[in-house]
Structure 1
Amino acid sequence: MSYASRKTWFSVIAIVVIVVGIVGAIIGYQRGFREYPQPDWVTATPEMRFKYGSIGAEHDAGVPYWIFYVLPRIFPEKLTQDGKVIPGGYAALGVPWEQGQELPVGFTKKTIGFPRVANNCAVCHTTSYRVSSEANPVLVVGGPAHTTNVEGFFRYLIDCAKDPRFNADILMAEINRVTELDLIDKLLYRFLIIPITKKRLLEREAQFAWIYRPDFPDWGRGRDDAMNLTKYFMIRAPMDDTFGPTDMPSLWNLKKYVWERGHRMNYAGDSHDAYSVIMDSALGLLGAAPASKEDFVGQVKWLHGYLSELPSPKYPFPIDPARADSGKLLFDANCAACHASELTGRPLPLADVGTDRGRLDSWNKGAAIKANQVVKEMGLERRGLVEEDLQGYIVPFLDGIWLKAPYLHNGSVPTLRDLLEPATARPTVFWRGYDLYDPIKVGFVSDTPEAQRIGTRLDTGSKGGGNQGHEFGSQLSAAEKEALVEYLKTL
């Protein structure tokens, strides 16, 4: 072959290699990294955006959609609660699920190369309740997710990844039963997506080590161990023996918190303002620095604006006006000094309220300093966490108090009526996470056979679960307590 011919062939080969490389790069970008907007229905209303809109968690914390889809089909025995296998797929975790929706509330779907599932703020802040056993659930955005077993979801993903059946052969066989992927996606799932997902989930096991400790009780439905999550995920602190479970808080009407008036956020006043809390919570869902700082800050600002103006829900049952008026007088005499005064929204020393101190012990000044530094290094600005040791719990605002059950910061008292009893007379064991409402005691039904079947058991003698303290109003007569509860329904 002549020199000219060889040169021509080399040129052809080089062109072919370049073209193949370019095509491969385009395919790799399109199927692995290109970000597509969510469908228009997701952002059609602020409520839908809050429930299903992405905050960017799909980049680092997202689970590939088809893996997420088939896990309950392959590993149904790993969906457990109180040591029992619960049927029903992801619904077994107590997540609110609207009829006709592909995913539960708080679960987002977004295509970044391939469809991925992640979470947004609604997973912990959407309440479900029923007015009767025959009624459909009513969903209230911004309310505490008292039915959702967040710890169960964390464990489930890790437990599946640890199982030897989490491999390409078994997962692809199940995926092929429910959908027809094209050749490129089949290759990507088999050789990249499934192995990488398994690796990423197993990496989380070390950070979640404390939720597997036998000396720590389960959080149960509607609770999390928020500050330990921050310690072990954001600042990568070594595991200690603290355990501070808390109820999911409500997020409505956040404009009532005014930093300039000394108000603080979170149960123990460990954050300065609502904007900081929203940003830090969103970072917790992302599990890493945001892929786009500009987009992330935009999402935080939108959430802050939306939740600042979101009204508290109105009590859905009839209220006795005369009894409520009597209750207002009792509230003014027994409760207003804390819950309708300059003290509201500010920390009250633990000695004054006497409730379980586990949440206080799980956080400290040093952790706050480190967490603020991590966020600063991401190039994000907010007032942030309070860099001082904590002394007590925030005196809560009572708007929408009827839907914040169970009560106290750790959710250890099932109803408002129970909260007005001395600690020694309150239930010591009850079941959390059943959504049938009790308009008499004002809270959720927590001790019937159905509540026991669906809910998670809370023993108030367990670590972090004490129901002591806050005995204000316990000296009132039964009739006075009923009147006070009637007034609280109106708030």
Structure 2
Amino acid sequence: MSLATNTKPRRTWLAVLGLVVLFGIAAGVYGWVKFFREVPQPAWITDDPEMRFKYGSIGAEADAGIPYWIFYVLPRVFPDKLPGPGGYASFGVAWEQGMELPVGFTKKTIGFDRVANTCAVCHTATYRESVDSNPVFVPTGPNHTLDLAAFFRFLIDCAKDPRFDADVLMREINLVTDLAWDDALIYRYLLIPITKKRLLERQTQFAWLYHPAFPEWGRGRDDSMNLTKYFMIEWPMDDTFGPTDMPSIWNLGKYQADKGHRMNFAGDSHNAYSVVIDSALGLLGAPPKDNAEFLKQIDWMLDYLKAARAPAYPFAIDTVLAERGKAVFDATCAGCHASERTGTVVPVEEVGTSRDRMETWNEKAAYEANKVVTEMGIKREGLVEEPLRGYVAAFLDGIWLRAPYLHNGSVPTLRDLLEPPAKRPVTFWRGYNLYDRERVGYVTAGEDAEYYGSLHDTRLKGGGNQGHNYGTGLPDEHKAALVEYLKTL
């Protein structure tokens, strides 16, 4: 009798313990599924190299990703914070017909669907042959229409607004999708408040975007080294301001360190491997979760970019005139742009262009950034730990698609670049993708250019069009021949 009495409570206790364990396991599985389960992207992205470049994840969703439905409704809730009508399209993103997201925006499930970015957001060019034609997309080309600073400010400004609230956002989300009851609770009580908090935590790092003394970056420009200073090494804001054009990143294999080639406009990085790593880390916003997987992605990306080639000029070329232009090029341009000097740094005193980009970076910043990456356990040659002294003499492959010109995008067309600085346009509209075949660049004046573009004023900080006087004294017929030849590169 006594033994039976003692056994019954023990069985009850074991049953309760078993239920608790089962509940804990179920809760753990549920939590893993809802917050951490990683689902591979579909094969139409991962199996096609071009699609992978445009839409493939590089791992940014884990720390920098925004929950999909929050991302979806932000333009609907905050149209007043967009640069114009059209939702995310107003930022000048490259957006292919029929695609759910713009080029360079990734969607991946890690528990829940998240949206992040990849290199293609800044490095996919578009151009149109006529006013009523569809855009042609060129992966690895410079996205000269993207208003990156406006996109950054949009996210911060939304988070600062009282309307970034669970009631407001859930009301809008419920208009476009029917979330399961538990997903609705997760969005309301976890994802919306956490997303708001994480965006607001970035305010200090983005403070220089609101600096009253700084002009707008403008479409197609990026103050990349200040981004590195304020995000990677978390330096306090200073008075430097040096936006540059989005660069093309095709054919990176042409840069060879053993020939003294340097990367980035001011030659502040040793090689392409380092540039791709540092750019990807900027997109991740945090150390990689798995270094081996991250570096595997980097290796794939670098192989893709080495194999990519500049597109051929898509319009008719006067071959006779171009042949005459080659002689002009050989006499006027080849010394920097088709010689052993190509890819190396030319002193700023010689080229005479704006110093603003150089002044955003220094050897101490390079040392600190290299230290941060090394502490992540990532090995690369990295950033150059010495004073910057000029700008890299650019390779000219695909130069026809790389307008506006000079490192800061301050000269609208190749024909304008051959004019003395005093005769170059003082202001122009950048970011309109209608191609100008006559002057070789993009259309930068008129109602449409003004509607779609942003005003570049060469008199403002970071926008000067001085320097690079090569070829400015040529006769007009030689300039015309030279421009015709440059179309062939």
SS at match of 1:314: coil
Offset, 1:299: 0.8
Please give the residue correspondences for 1:308-347 in structure 2 after superposition, counting only pairs within 5 Å.
308-347=306-345
In structure 2, stretches of 5+ residues that fail to align are none
Q: State which of 26, 36, 47 in structure 2 corresponds to 1:23.
A: 26
The equivalent of 1:216 in structure 2 is 214
Q: What is the rounded CA distance, in whole Å, between the counterparts of 1:332 and 1:254 in structure 2?
A: 24
Q: CA 1:16/1:241 → structure 2, altered by over 3 Å: closer, same or farther?
A: same
Q: State which of 414, 417, 424 in structure 2 corresponds to 1:416.
A: 414
> Where in structure 1 do 4 or more consecutive aligned residues deviate above 6 Å?
none
SS at match of 2:138: strand
The equivalent of 1:349 in structure 2 is 347
The equivalent of 1:65 in structure 2 is 68
Offset, 1:92: 0.4
- The normalised TM-score by structure 1 is 0.98
1:453 aligns with 2:456: no
Please give the residue correspondences for 1:244-283 in structure 2 after superposition, counting only pairs within 5 Å.
244-283=242-281
Q: What is the rounded CA distance, in whole Å, between the counterparts of 1:243 and 1:323 in structure 2?
A: 41
Please give the residue correspondences for 1:15-414 in structure 2 after superposition, counting only pairs within 5 Å.
15-80=18-83, 86-414=84-412
The equivalent of 1:13 in structure 2 is 16
In structure 1, stretches of 5+ residues that fail to align are 81-85
RMSD between aligned residues: 1.0
Q: What is the rounded CA distance, in whole Å, between the counterparts of 1:363 and 1:480 in structure 2?
A: 38
Q: State which of 462, 469, 473 in structure 1 corresponds to 2:471.
A: 473
Offset, 1:4: 4.1
Deviation digits for residues 103-156 of structure 1 (CA, Å, limit 9, x no counterpart): 000000000000000000000100010011111000000000101111111111
SS at match of 1:118: strand
Q: State which of 433, 436, 460 in structure 1 corresponds to 2:434.
A: 436
The equivalent of 1:463 in structure 2 is 461
Offset, 1:8: 3.2
Q: What is the rounded CA distance, in whole Å, between the counterparts of 1:233 and 1:369 in structure 2?
A: 15
Q: What is the rounded CA distance, in whole Å, between the counterparts of 2:293 and 2:440 in structure 1?
A: 41
Offset, 1:10: 2.6
Q: What is the rounded CA distance, in whole Å, between the counterparts of 1:115 and 1:490 in structure 2?
A: 44
Q: What is the rounded CA distance, in whole Å, between the counterparts of 1:372 and 1:472 in structure 2?
A: 36
- The normalised TM-score by structure 2 is 0.98
Q: What is the rounded CA distance, in whole Å, between the counterparts of 2:56 and 2:37 in structure 1?
A: 18
One-letter amino acid of the structure 2 residue matched with residue 190 of structure 1: R
Greater CA drift, 224-233 or 287-296? 287-296
SS at match of 2:191: helix
Deviation digits for residues 384-415 of structure 1 (CA, Å, limit 9, x no counterpart): 00010100000000000000000000000000
One-letter amino acid of the structure 2 residue matched with residue 74 of structure 1: V
Deviation digits for residues 15-64 of structure 1 (CA, Å, limit 9, x no counterpart): 22221111111010011011110011112311101000000000111000
Q: State which of 476, 481, 484 in structure 2 corresponds to 1:483.
A: 481
Q: What is the rounded CA distance, in whole Å, between the counterparts of 1:9 and 1:101 in structure 2?
A: 58
Deviation digits for residues 300-322 of structure 1 (CA, Å, limit 9, x no counterpart): 11111111111111000000011
SS at match of 2:226: helix
Q: What is the rounded CA distance, in whole Å, between the counterparts of 1:412 and 1:168 in structure 2?
A: 43
Report how many aligned residue pairs link the two structures: 486
SS at match of 1:207: coil
One-letter amino acid of the structure 1 residue matched with residue 272 of structure 2: A
